[in-house]
Structure 1
Amino acid sequence: MAEVPEVAQMLLPPVELPRTQIIERTRHRYEDIHRLLEQRWTVSVIARRLNLDRETVRRFRDTALDQLLASARDRRPNGVLEPFKAYLNTRFTEDQGQVSGTRLFLEIQARGYRGSRQVVRKHLAALRAGTAEPVRADTPGPRKITPWIMRPHETLAESQDERLLQVRLACPDITRTCDLARAFADLVRHRRGYLLLEWIRQAEQDASKPMKGFAGFLRQDLDAVTAGLGPPWSSGVVEGHVNRVKTLKRAMYGRASFELLRTRILTRS
C-alpha cells in the first residue's frame, strides 16, 4: 500500500501588536528597567533615573513583557480633550456651572488644545446634566505632592498651585491632609504651641489613618511637644554636642583609649 505523504504543518506568523505609541513606550520601558536590574540597580535608583514611580518599576520587574503589552493594547488612547478634562471640571466647579463654553474653549486653547469648540460644549453640557464620566486625575507621586503641601502657598509657582488643586479635587483625603499639614506647619513656624491640642482633636476626628496616628503620637507626649512649640529655648545645642560625642566614640571604637577620647571631646577636635 502506498504511503500517504505527510502533510507539512503550516506555521503561522506570530501575532504582532500594532506599533502604537503606547505599545512602543511599554516595550522600551521594559527593556530599560530590566537592563538596569541586570546591572544590580535598586528599584528606588531606577525610579529616579527613569523618572517613574517605584510601583511602576516593580510592576515592570515582576510582570512578563507579553502581559504588559497585552494590557497596553487594551488601553484606549485618550481623546483630544482628555488631557484638558480635569481643568474643565475644575473651572466648572469654581464657577458653579455658570461659565460659558466659549470662554472655556479659549482658556484651554491657550494651554495647547487643538480640538473643536463643539467638543468642549458637549463636555460642558454633560457636566451640567450630571452625565459626564468622572475624570481620573493624573496624580503626581508623593515626592512631588509633599513639597507643594509643606511650602507656603505664596511660594508655589502657578503651575504647581494648579496641579495641587487638581489633586485636591480628585482625592478628598489629600484635601484634608493638605489642610491639616499646612495648619501644623503654621504652628511650627510661628511657635503657636497653645493651638496644638485643638489641631490634634481635628486630626483625630476626620483625618486619614496616617495623620490620626501622627496626632496620637503627639498626644502621648503633649506637654513636651507643646513646650517645644512655645518657649524660645531649645535643646538643639545639647543634642549637637551629644551627636558629636557619639561620632567621636564610633570613630575611635576599639582603636584608642578612653583618655584620648576624653581629650578629643574636651579640645573640640
Structure 2
Amino acid sequence: MRAGTAQPVRADIPSPCEITSWITRPRETLTESQDKRLLEVRLACPDITRACNLARTFADLVRRRRGYLLLEWIRQAEQDAPKRMQGFSGFLRRDLDAVTAGLTLPWSSGVIEGHVNRVKTLKRAMYGRASFELLRTRILTRA
C-alpha cells in the first residue's frame, strides 16, 4: 500500500436511470437483488423514498383507472414531494378535468393518433418528390 499499488475500492452506486426504472416498474417485476438495491437507496435518501411512494401511487392510478383519487394525490404531492414532482402535480392541476377524464373514461384517441402519425410519416417521406395527388392516393388506399 505504501508503494501506491493498491486500487481504491469503488462503491457500486446505481445510476439515476437504474433507480428510475426500479421505481416505475411494478414491484412484482423486480428481481430480488433489484428490490434489495432499491431499498438501500431509499434508506439512504428520504427524498427518493417520498418520490418512490408518490410515483408508485400515481402508476396505480393510471393502471387501474382511478381518476377519482387524482386530486388527493395532487394535494399529497404538493405537500410532501420533492420539487420536480411538485411541478408535475401543478401541471396536472392546471388541466384537472381533462386528466381526470383520461384516467377514468374508457375512451382513447390512440387509434386516431396512429393515423395522424402515419399520414405525417408519408408526408415527410414524399416531401419534394411527388405531387399532392400521389400523396392523396397513398393516404386513401391504406385507410
Both structures adopt the same fold (TM-score exceeding 0.5): yes
Matched with 1:100 is none
Shift of 1:180: 0.3
Tell me which of 14, 22, 47 is aligned to 1:173.
Answer: 47
Instruction: Tell whether the 8 Å contact from 1:187 to 1:195 is kept in structure 2 after alignment.
Output: yes
Amino acid at match of 2:102: G
Deviations 1:42-99 (A, max 9, x none): xxxxxxxxxxxxxxxxxxxxxxxxxxxxxxxxxxx69xxxx8xxxxxxxxxxxxxxxx
Match of 2:65 among 191, 197, 222: 191
Bigger relative contact order, structure 1 or 2, given CA contacts below 8 A and separation 6+?
2
Counterpart in 1 of 2:120?
Answer: 246
**Matching of residues 49-128 of structure 1 within 5 Å:** none
Q: Which residue is 2:107 aligned to? A: 233
Shift of 1:228: 0.8
Which runs of 5 or more residues in structure 1 are unaligned?
A: 1-16, 23-76, 84-137
Q: Is the 8 A contact 1:139 1:167 kept in 2?
A: no
CA displacement 1:95-119 (0-9 Å, x = unmatched): xxxxxxxxxxxxxxxxxxxxxxxxx
Which residue does 1:155 correspond to in 2?
29
Q: Distance in 1 between matches of 2:70 and 2:108?
A: 18
Match of 2:7 among 21, 29, 47: 21
Q: Residue 258 of structure 1 corresponds to which residue in structure 2? A: 132
Alignment coverage as a number of residue pairs: 141
Once the two structures are superposed, residues 131-183 of structure 1 have per-residue CA deviations (whole angstroms, 9 ceiling, x without a partner) of xxxxxxx5411111112111121222211111111100100000000000000
Q: Give the structure-2-normalised TM-score.
A: 0.92
Aligned pairs for 1:38-57 (under 5 A) are none
**Conserved 8 A contact 1:177-1:208:** yes
CA distance in 2: counterparts of 1:262 and 1:222, whole angstroms = 38
Question: Segments of 4+ in structure 1 off by > 4 A?
Answer: none
Give the Cα separation in 1 of the matches to 2:100 and 2:142.
33
Residue 96 of structure 2 is aligned to residue 222 of structure 1: yes
- For 1:125, the equivalent position in structure 2 comes to none
2:111 is paired with a residue whose SS is helix
Q: Distance in 2 between matches of 1:142 and 1:162?
A: 16
Root-mean-square deviation over aligned CA pairs: 1.8
Contact 1:150 1:185 in 2 (8 A): yes
Unaligned runs of 5+ in 2: none
What's the CA shift for 1:227? 0.9
**1:1-24 Cα distance to aligned partner (Å, 9 max, x none):** xxxxxxxxxxxxxxxx712223xx
Q: Percent identity?
A: 78
Amino acid at match of 1:230: T
What amino acid sits opposite 1:226 in the alignment? Answer: T
| 2:65 counterpart of 1:211 | no
